[in-house]
C-alpha cells in the first residue's frame, strides 16, 4: 500500500503517546509502520531529493503539527510527551485529527500564518487543508520537479531547432563541464567533426589524456535502433577503441540498450531526456533564476 498522508498519522501518533511516557520519534515511527501494515518497499520510498524517506518525513510533520498546537510537547531532540491538552482530546477523540481539526487551537493560526521579514507567510494551507496530504518538503520538491521537467523539455526543443554545428559545440561544452576533455581548447580540437568511419569526434577521458572516448552525436527525431549502435561499435573496433558515447536528441530502442549490455566494449547511451538533465545538472545552456536553501536543525551543535 502507499504511505498514508501525514494527516493520517496525527491521531495514531497522539494515541501512542497517550500513556504519558516519553516517546522517541524513531520508536513511534516503527509502531506506526506496523500498525499501518506498510511494507519494506513502502518504508524505503524516498522523496525526489533522495535524502529522506517519504514515511519518516510525513510522520515527522504530523508530530510537528501536534507539537505546534500543544497536543504534544518536545522533551529532547527526537523525543516527545503528550500534554494535558492532548489528554483532553483523547478523552473524547475525534474520528480523525487533521489540519481542519487543529484550527480550533489558537497556536495553529500563529504557526501556519506567522509572517516572516518580507511579509510572506511561512505556511498557508488554504481553505482545503483537510485534503492536503503532502508535507511542505514534498510540495517544494514536486514543484521543483515540475519546473525542472519543463526546463528539460524547453532545452530539447531548442537543441533540435539548432544547427548540427551548434549541437557539436554543445556536446563539447557538456563533456568539458562534466570533467572530460582537458581544457575547452583541447576538447574542441579533439572532437573535430570529420565523421570518419562513423566517429564524430574523440575526446580525452581525463585531463592527462590517459584514455580516449570516441563520440557519435545524432540530432534525430526517430529512435536510434540496434543496427545503428552496432555500426558505432564496429567503428570503435576499427579504431581499436574501447570506450564510446553515443548521444542523441531522441531515444534508443530497447534492442539498442540490450545490445550495449552484452558487448565487451563500454558504450554509454545518452538519449534526449538524459542529455537535457545533464545540461541542467552541469549548468550548460541554463542560468540560475532563484535559489532557495532549505535548512534543518543540526543536533550535533547542541551536544553538551
Residue by residue, pLDDT tens for the chain (304 residues) are 689 999 999 999 999 999 999 999 999 999 999 999 999 999 999 988 788 899 999 999 999 999 999 999 998 878 999 999 999 999 999 999 999 999 999 999 888 765 543 433 344 444 345 556 788 888 888 788 878 888 998 899 899 888 888 888 888 889 888 888 766 666 655 554 445 556 777 887 776 667 788 888 888 888 999 999 999 998 888 888 889 999 999 999 999 999 999 998 899 999 999 999 999 999 999 998 877 778 877 776 676 6
pLDDT given for residue 126 in this prediction: 40
pLDDT given for residue 223 in this prediction: 92
pLDDT given for residue 73 in this prediction: 94
Distances (CA, A) of 280 to 38, 118, 147, 294: 35, 30, 11, 20
pLDDT given for residue 161 in this prediction: 87
As to burial, measured by CB atoms within 10 angstroms (0-12 exposed, 13-18 middle, 19+ buried), residue 213 is buried
pLDDT given for residue 301 in this prediction: 67
Give the CATH number of domain 6-133. 1.10.10
Using H for helix, E for strand and C for coil, what is the string for the chain? CCCCCHHHHHHHHHHHCCCCCCEEHHHHHHHHHHHHCCCHHHHHCECCCCCCEHHHHHHHHHHHHHHHCCCEEEEECCEEEECHHHHHHHHCCCCCCCHHHHCCCHHHHHHHHCECCCCCECCCCCCCHHHCCCCHHHHHHHHHHHHHHHHHHHHHHHHHHCCHHHHHHHHHHHHHHCCCCCCHHHHHHHHCCCCHHHCCEEEECCCCCCCEEEEEEECCCCCECHHHHHHHHHHHHHCCCCEEEEEECCCECHHHHHHHHHCCCEEEEECHHHHHHHHHHCCCCCCCCCCCCCCCCCHHHHCC
Give the rounded distance of the alpha carbon of 83 from its chain centre. Answer: 37
Is the CATH number of domain 155-281 3.40.50.720?
no
Q: Which residues pair with 216 in a beta bridge?
A: 246
Read off the pTM.
Answer: 0.67
Per-domain boundaries in the chain? 6-133, 155-281
Strand order of the β-sheet with 23-24 is 23-24, 79-82, 72-76
Amino acid at each position: 500500500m502507499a504511505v498514508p498522508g501525514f494527516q493520517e498519522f496525527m491521531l495514531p501518533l497522539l494515541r501512542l503517546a497517550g500513556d504519558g511516557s516519553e516517546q522517541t520519534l524513531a520508536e513511534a515511527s516503527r509502531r506506526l509502520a506496523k500498525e499501518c501494515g506498510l511494507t519494506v518497499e513502502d518504508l524505503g520510498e524516498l522523496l525526489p531529493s533522495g535524502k529522506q524517506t517519504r514515511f519518516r518525513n510525513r510522520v515527522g510533520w504530523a508530530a510537528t503539527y501536534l507539537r505546534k498546537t500543544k497536543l504534544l510537547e518536545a522533551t529532547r531532540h527526537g523525543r516527545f510527551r503528550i500534554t494535558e491538552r492532548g489528554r483532553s482530546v483523547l478523552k473524547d477523540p475525534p474520528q480523525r485529527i487533521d489540519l481542519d481539526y487543529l484550527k480550533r487551537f489558537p497556536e495553529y493560526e500563529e504557526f501556519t500564518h506567522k509572517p516572516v521579514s518580507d511579509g510572506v507567510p511561512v505556511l498557508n494551507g488554504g481553505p482545503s487543508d483537510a485534503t492536503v496530504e503532502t508535507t511542505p518538503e514534498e510540495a517544494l520538491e514536486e514543484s521543483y520537479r515540475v519546473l525542472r521537467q519543463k526546463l528539460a523539455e524547453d532545452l530539447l526543443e531548442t537543441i533540435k531547432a539548432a544547427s548540427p554545428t551548434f549541437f557539436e559545440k554543445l556536446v563539447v561544452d557538456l563533456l568539458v563541464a562534466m570533467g572530460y576533455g582537458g581544457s575547452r581548447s583541447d576538447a574542441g580540437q579533439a572532437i573535430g567533426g570529420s565523421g570518419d568511419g562513423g566517429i564524430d569526434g574523440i575526446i580525452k577521458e581525463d585531463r592527462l589524456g590517459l584514455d580516449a572516448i570516441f563520440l557519435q552525436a545524432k540530432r534525430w527525431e526517430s529512435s536510434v535502433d540496434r543496427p545503428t549502435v552496432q555500426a558505432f561499435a564496429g567503428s570503435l573496433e576499427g579504431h581499436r577503441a574501447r570506450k564510446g558515447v553515443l548521444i542523441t536528441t531522441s531515444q534508443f530502442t530497447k534492442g539498442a540498450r540490450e545490445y550495449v549490455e552484452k558487448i565487451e566494449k563500454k558504450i554509454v547511451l545518452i538519449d534526449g531526456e538524459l542529455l537535457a538533465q545533464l545540461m541542467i545538472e552541469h549548468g550548460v545552456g541554463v542560468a540560475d533564476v532563484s535559489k532557495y536553501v532549505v535548512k534543518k536543525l543540526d543536533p550535533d551543535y547542541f551536544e553538551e
